[in-house]
Amino acid sequence: PIPGSGESRVDLDQARLAIDLYEANLNILKDVLESDTEKQLRRVLMDLQLNYVNKTKKE
């Protein structure tokens, strides 16, 4: 959302950066995460990546 405007917009550059940072953090933490937790977080990452690809195809 854009503060104070009531509007929202999609910023694909920021989305890509956030996904990349999420993946980097996940890779750093993988050795201390339980297997089930890591699998769940990897699924979230895949969902984010797929949503990003789908959104870029629409643009």
Per-residue pLDDT at 58: 79
Residues 3-45 have pLDDT tens digits of 788 788 889 999 999 999 999 999 999 999 999 999 999 999 9
Question: Do 12 and 59 contact (CB within 8 A), yes or no?
Answer: yes
Residues 49-58 have pLDDT tens digits of 999 999 999 7
The residues with which 7 forms a beta bridge, in sequence order, are 2
Question: What distance in Å separates the CA atoms of residue 41 and residue 25, rounded to the nearest whole number?
Answer: 11
Tokens of 17: 């950066």
Residue 59's pLDDT band (cuts 50, 70, 90)? low
Per-residue pLDDT at 36: 98
